């Protein structure tokens, strides 16, 4: 049985959906499904993904066909990708779309309807109230033109959490909704020497990590305020903020840190790759994400798997797993963040024991298998038992 996944980009700079789509593809293929991920080589404003970069993503069993990006890049377009969608969907048994608002998604919908192929949508938080409020006019127009029909005619809509499904109940029918958590996978660690030198011999439980795009909704500036208020940096704790510029920039946050007189306690790394990300988790005792909205937060699952104690808000859907694991602190808001940091700095044994519980839970519960099973169950003839011949992944 053949599943065609469609996502506009897989460069890691675009965050969780890009990473997750590749890991899901690996899991589907490992289960014997002939799963092909169609995507573009777009990599922001920089050079497009090279053959070597695609091959690194393929490592581990993924089947990926990546095509050169085309104008308009703002809509993450690729004419080669659109042609491939039309060709591959015709022979597919199921189409799985990662997202719904871009040109490749519209093309996948039209092709699936044209050839009578069932399809599903994984919105990756796109139906959360917070996200629907962004570029609201454009999304209303898109919905009127095609988006509403895409949702209405989907065989299923795949959510990462119960809260994400509940927030989309006004546009997704109950019988369409499927829920399965995202998985956590850690790449082989590659040390960051400059960070290693900066940390010197700081104990792991005294190292705090924020990792993600510097988006306003993730509230890195609030973390800096809480850090300064707690004063734990003066007693040896250290904060690492890793991630690329977004609505906020490293320059802006660095200036804020200087203004708060904590510049010597905070290190900004900028963008990190999967190998550096895994190493940062392993060096950190506490992972902090004071976000306003996350439909899951793959980084929380990864941090837990690496043994980090997680501090998140109730607005982060993965908070459910933090609570179940007993592997962190879930805050009702950011008002108690400074006090939580102070408490953890004074109780390193709490950080260590919570991190152990988080790792055990994540290894057991936060894998890609439940999501792969959920999607595989949508195949017309049910789960595939026999592995299919593998095709070579390709870049075009």
Residues 15, 147 share a domain: yes
What are the structure tokens assigned to 138, written together? 């454009």
Residues 146, 285 share a domain: no
What are the structure tokens assigned to 217, written together? 């909704």
Confidence of residue 103 (pLDDT cuts 50, 70, 90): very high
Residue 188 domain-assigned (yes or no): no
What are the structure tokens assigned to 350, written together? 């709490």
- What is the Cα 247 distance to its own chain's centre? 18
Task: Quote the pLDDT of residue 272.
Answer: 93
Residue from 44, 247, 216, 18 nearest 130 by CA: 216
- Say whether pLDDT at 77 is over 90: no
Residues 105, 74 share a domain: yes
Residue 383 domain-assigned (yes or no): yes
Task: Quote the pLDDT of residue 391.
Answer: 54
- Say whether pLDDT at 128 is over 50: yes
Residues 117, 161 share a domain: yes
Helix residue spans in 219-327 (DSSP H): 220-230, 250-259, 274-283, 298-305, 319-325
Average pLDDT rounded to a whole number, residues 57-78? 88
Residues 132, 220 share a domain: no
SS3 content of the chain, % helix, strand, coil (to 5): 50, 20, 35
Q: What are the pLDDT digits (tens) for 282-336?
A: 999 999 999 999 989 999 999 999 999 999 999 999 999 999 999 999 999 899 9
Residue 30 domain-assigned (yes or no): yes
3-state secondary structure of 288: strand
The percent of residues above 90 in pLDDT, for the chain, comes to 83
Confidence of residue 395 (pLDDT cuts 50, 70, 90): low
Task: Quote the pLDDT of residue 47.
Answer: 87
Average pLDDT rounded to a whole number, residues 84-110? 96
Residue 288 domain-assigned (yes or no): yes
Q: What are the pLDDT digits (tens) for 175-192?
A: 999 999 999 999 899 999
Q: What are the pLDDT digits (tens) for 41-51?
A: 998 777 898 99
Between 203 and 390, name the one with better pLDDT. 203
Residues 230, 173 share a domain: no
Residues 68, 106 share a domain: yes
Q: Of 116-120, 138-142, 222-226, which range is least confident?
A: 138-142
Average pLDDT rounded to a whole number, residues 363-376? 95
Task: Quote the pLDDT of residue 219.
Answer: 97
Residue from 269, 267, 283, 290 nearest 341 by CA: 290
Q: At what angle do helices 348-365 and 298-305 cross, to 10 degrees?
A: 110
Q: What are the pLDDT digits (tens) for 198-227?
A: 999 999 999 999 999 999 999 999 999 999
Distance (Å, whole) CA 299 – CA 213:
11
Task: Quote the pLDDT of residue 396.
Answer: 64
Between 49 and 3, name the one with better pLDDT. 3
Contacts of 126 (CB under 8 A, 6+ apart): 99, 100, 101, 132
CA dihedral 99, 103, 106, 107 (to 10 degrees): -120
Confidence of residue 116 (pLDDT cuts 50, 70, 90): very high
**pTM for the whole structure:** 0.87
Residues 376, 238 share a domain: no
Between 79 and 59, name the one with better pLDDT. 79
Q: Of 122-131, 300-309, 353-362, which range is least confident?
A: 122-131
Residue 112 domain-assigned (yes or no): yes
Domain that holds residue 318: 193-365
Residue from 46, 57, 47, 69 nearest 18 by CA: 57
What are the E-state strand segments in the chain?
Answer: 2-9, 34-40, 64-67, 94-98, 119-122, 156-159, 177-179, 207-211, 238-242, 266-270, 286-289, 309-313, 328-331, 394-395
The percent of residues above 70 in pLDDT, for the chain, comes to 96
Domain count, the chain: 2
C-beta atoms surrounding 27 within 10 Å: 25
Confidence of residue 386 (pLDDT cuts 50, 70, 90): very low
What are the structure tokens assigned to 7, written together? 């996502």
Average pLDDT rounded to a whole number, residues 75-90? 93
């Amino acid at each position: 049985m053949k599943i065609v996944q469609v996502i506009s980009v897989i460069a890691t700079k675009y965050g969780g959906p890009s990473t997750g789509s590749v890991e899901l593809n690996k899991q589907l293929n490992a289960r014997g499904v002939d799963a092909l991920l169609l995507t573009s080589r777009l990599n922001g404003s920089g050079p497009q993904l090279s053959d070597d970069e695609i091959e690194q993503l393929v490592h581990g069993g993924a089947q990926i066909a990546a095509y050169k990006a085309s104008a308009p890049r703002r809509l993450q377009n690729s004419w080669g990708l659109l042609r491939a969608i039309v060709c591959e969907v015709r022979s597919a048994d199921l189409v799985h779309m990662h997202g719904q608002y871009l040109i490749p998604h519209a093309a996948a919908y039209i092709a699936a309807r044209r050839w009578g192929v069932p399809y599903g949508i994984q919105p990756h938080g796109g139906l959360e109230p917070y996200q629907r409020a962004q570029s609201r006019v454009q999304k209303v127009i898109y919905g009127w033109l095609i988006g509403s029909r895409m949702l209405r005619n989907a065989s299923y809509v795949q959510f990462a959490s119960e809260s994400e499904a509940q927030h989309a109940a006004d546009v997704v029918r109950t019988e369409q909704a499927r829920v399965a958590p995202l998985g956590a996978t850690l790449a082989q660690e590659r040390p960051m020497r400059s960070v290693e030198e900066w940390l010197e011999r700081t104990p792991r439980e005294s190292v705090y990590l924020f990792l993600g795009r510097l988006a306003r909704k993730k509230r890195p500036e609030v973390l800096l305020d809480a850090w300064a208020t707690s004063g734990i940096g003066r007693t040896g704790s250290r904060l690492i903020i890793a991630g690329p510029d977004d609505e906020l920039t490293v320059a802006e946050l660095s200036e804020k840190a200087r203004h708060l007189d904590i510049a010597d306690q905070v290190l900004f790394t900028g963008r990190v790759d999967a190998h550096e990300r895994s190493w940062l988790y392993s060096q950190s005792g506490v992972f902090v994400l004071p976000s306003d909205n996350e439909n899951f937060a793959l980084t929380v699952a990864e941090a837990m798997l690496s043994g980090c104690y997680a501090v998140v808000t109730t607005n982060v859907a993965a908070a459910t797993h933090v609570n179940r694991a007993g592997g962190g602190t879930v805050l009702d808001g950011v008002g108690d963040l400074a006090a939580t940091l102070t408490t953890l700095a004074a109780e390193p044994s709490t950080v260590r024991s919570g991190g152990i519980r988080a790792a055990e839970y994540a290894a057991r519960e936060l894998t890609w298998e439940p999501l792969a099973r959920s999607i595989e169950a949508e195949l017309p003839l049910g789960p595939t038992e026999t592995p299919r011949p593998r095709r070579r992944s390709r870049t075009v």
